Amino acid sequence: MAPENIASFIDTNLSAARFAEYLADPQRAILTAQQDGRIIGYAMLIRGVAEDADVQRAVHIRPAAELSKMYVLPDYHGAGVATALMNLALATAEQWGVRSVWLGVNQANQRAQRFYIKSGFTISGTRTFQVGARRESDYVMVCGLH
């Protein structure tokens, strides 16, 4: 991805102002992993299924929630932080009463795909979306809940 496209995505979706909106939105949950009072990872759940037609076709189990974001600082990769965040996200979704969690993952990001498969997700479709000037392609993955 070109640096200007990454910068555009960050400005649009990951700014302090956007996070203030996310935190105030009752349809979202921001979950954090912390060490020594420092956030080392986070995940964001959103109730529902995106209006995108490709996502609508891919997410068959309803009601659903989206695992919209999940990031862990690189120094903590492989330390169990992502697994703990995922477990918390799935437990939160279950508390909401949804029957599945879905996410989009870049088709080239095999490491993330392996993690999501290990966490119980399966590929159920594809979607495309715009990041800056570039069109990106994701797999849509879904995890059914108990």
The domain that holds 130 is classified in CATH as 3.40.630.30
- How much is the mean pLDDT over the chain? 92
**What is the rounded distance in angstroms from the CA atom of residue 57 to the CA atom of residue 120?**
20
What pLDDT score was predicted for residue 18? 86
Cα dihedral sign for 83, 115, 108, 143? negative
Using the predicted structure, report yes or no on whether residue 130 has a pLDDT greater than 90.
no
- Reported as a pLDDT band with limits 50, 70 and 90, residue 136 is confident
Identify whether the C-beta of residue 27 lies closer than 8 Å to the C-beta of residue 42. Answer: no
Which domain, by its residues, includes 12? 3-144
Over range 86-104, report the average pLDDT: 98
Q: What is the pLDDT of residue 19?
A: 84
**Residue 135 has what pLDDT?**
84
Q: What is the pLDDT of residues 32-66, one digit of tens each?
A: 999 999 999 999 999 999 999 999 999 999 999 99
Please, are residues 60 and 124 in contact by the beta-carbon 8 Å criterion? yes
Count of structural domains, the chain: 1
pTM listed for this prediction: 0.88
